[in-house]
Amino acid sequence: MARQVEAGGCEALPVRADVRADADVRAMIASVHARFGRLDVLINNAGMTHWVPFRDLDGLSDEMWDEILDVNLVGAFRCARAAAPLLTESSGAVVNVSSISGVLALETASSIAYSASKAALISLTKSLAVALAPRVRVNAVAPAFTDTDWMREHYGATYADRVAAASRTFPLGRIARPEDVAAAIVALVTAGDYITGQTLLVDGGRSVV
């Protein structure tokens, strides 16, 4: 990823950090401040899940809940909290990466805990939009099924069949590409000076059928 950024003519600063550890998060933000002197945009994209069928309630352990919520929800809060002073100085923006699973109760989602964490992230987006106003805007994107290495690895040999089946449920006739999600994030950052506390579904129309 850093090489891709640099190939585009920009400077990259790779930092290893665990969003479950506040010290790691604060050190990451401090590294950004030390190198660049400012922070304009925070994208909260760290996420994880455990794949447990919705109807298998006993299969979803307390430990799974704790880990999913700690990364997907509290991790985003830790990053926003640590970045808030720099973002306030620059009148910056935050974009949280939620999911259509946080909007619709889709049994094809990885687990109830994942869906709940992404719904809570939408609520956190609204709360942070109030807490960080008026200098910092906070929005979210909620992608549907997206073509990522994560999904390819999970479905393995059945991935192509899964994509074909899913694509038939989207009015636009295909699943999302990472570029679709990136474009939505850029739009919220660059073209929405009066937009805050909102969640943009990047779902090819899946949520309206």
Contacts of 84 (CB under 8 A, 6+ apart): 132, 136
Q: 73 near 140, Cβ under 8 Å?
A: no
CA distance 137 to 20: 24
Active site amino acids: 114
